[in-house]
Structure 1
Amino acid sequence: MSAKAIVFDIGGVLIDWSPAHLYRRLLPDDAAVADFLGSVCTSAWNQQFDAGMPFADGIATLSALHPGKAALIAAYRDRWEEMLVGEIPGTADLLRGLKAAGVPVHAISNWSAETFPIAAARYPVLDLFDVLVVSGRERMVKPDAAIFHLFLARAGLDAADCLFIDDNAANVAAAAAIGFDAILFTDAGRLAADLHARALLPVQALPARAAS
């Protein structure tokens, strides 16, 4: 067995979270959504919240720069829950199966400390992790090496003992550079195959439809 602990990302791997889910309700078409999220409420702006900035501060600063879009910017927090649309098909089932089979499961997530409790209350699967590191609580974010080292210290593990799964290539590369076995997530079927290839997927961890 090449790894003995599995470390998940959450958004985009276990939970389908995207600002686009909200802004498709607020803007006329996909082009307008892409423009707004590419030029106003950008990924870099959102990462400030993942790193611990209060939403009130980030929204006030951005609204001052784009006063004509202040209502849309405010919706980023006021209607944040509409960015959540459910579990990623199949991945949460894999996590539940791994946990039930006794495989150590952990998580390192870039997520605001303000909004993570909302997601955790909606999706009980997020209670299954043995060690959970949320960037907004720690004020450090992936792909910075510091958050990976914090996880390893907290879990009492060496990087070589861990398989890390993330949908962001930069995060996967950062984990690999530290010594994690690391997988770029695309879908649950591919992940199951990758786990099976590493002898990390006990039969009892497979969703019922996959095991039959």
Structure 2
Amino acid sequence: MSVEAVIFDIGNVLIEWQPERYYDRTIGREKRRAMFDAVDLHGMNERIDRGENFRDVVYAVAAATPGWQAEIRDWHDCWIELAEPVIPHSLSLLRALRSKGVPVHALTNFGVESFALAKTHYPFLNEFDTAFVSGHMGVTKPDPRIYEMVEATTRLAPETLLFTDDRAENIEAAAARGWQVHLFEGAGGLAERLVSEGLLSAREAAP
């Protein structure tokens, strides 16, 4: 069945999300590895993505972790430096689709406050037809409920949705519901998929 809407993940699809890179730069790789071994920072972020308050969670974890308080608070205080830069070709694909009248949505694991902050730095995050943000939804990918909620809101058949995400488990969960999927491994591959689906011409999909 033909694609009626394209759904983008955001982290590592439209914006690079590599917190380790920030800490490698600020405290050095060896200390960063020690900190990540000592503290489940990605688990902390999962709580934020499910809707808990961004600052409260980060500061509570920092307060409970002797020796790493300042570094952990950076996850909140310097967050925009953890979530950069934009992936330009992906953004151009999003805008090319919109210019052709193709509905474009976001489906992202993102906190309420961190997403609001991201929109002030990356105005294109306001350009989606709908931004499905896990923090507002109270559930994260790859829980099947989040995909059900997207289907209910868009009122589109699962097989008409094309979803791109950089995490295999998120793609697999969408595919299990009948969505068309593309594992994001670079904007060039996504461009080829959009061309093959007839959504963009090769010229429109070029960087």
Partner of 1:87, secondary structure, is coil
Which residue type is aligned with residue 164 of structure 2? I
Deviation at 1:123, TM superposition (A): 1.5
Change over 3 Å in CA distance of 1:156–1:131 after alignment to 2: same
Aligned CA RMSD, in angstroms, stands at 1.8
Partner of 1:164, secondary structure, is strand
1:7-49 Cα shifts (integer Å, max 9, x gaps): 00011101112212421232122x4324423441432221110
1:43-89 Cα shifts (integer Å, max 9, x gaps): 22211100011134323442344211111111111111211322113
Partner of 1:200, secondary structure, is coil
Deviation at 1:156, TM superposition (A): 1.4
Partner of 2:85, secondary structure, is strand
The residue aligned with 1:24 is: 24
Partner of 2:106, secondary structure, is strand
> C-alpha separation between the residues in 2 aligned to 1:33 and 1:199?
44
Number of residue pairs aligned between Structure 1 and Structure 2: 207
Which residue type is aligned with residue 5 of structure 2? A
Partner of 1:118, secondary structure, is helix
- Per mean C-alpha deviation after superposition, the further-off stretch among 104-113 and 11-20 is 11-20
Structure 1, unmatched stretches of 5+, are none
* Residues 1:201 and 2:206 aligned together: no
Change over 3 Å in CA distance of 1:89–1:35 after alignment to 2: farther
The residue aligned with 1:101 is: 100
> C-alpha separation between the residues in 2 aligned to 1:7 and 1:73?
32
The residue aligned with 2:154 is: 155
TM-score after normalising by structure 1? 0.89
Partner of 1:174, secondary structure, is helix
The residue aligned with 1:7 is: 7
State the 4+ residue runs in structure 1 displaced beyond 4 angstroms. none
> C-alpha separation between the residues in 1 aligned to 2:62 and 2:54?
12
Cα contact 1:22–1:80 (8 A) shared by 2:
no
TM-score after normalising by structure 2? 0.91
Structure 2, unmatched stretches of 5+, are none
Partner of 1:59, secondary structure, is helix
The residue aligned with 1:145 is: 144
> C-alpha separation between the residues in 2 aligned to 1:99 and 1:38?
42
Which residue type is aligned with residue 85 of structure 1? E
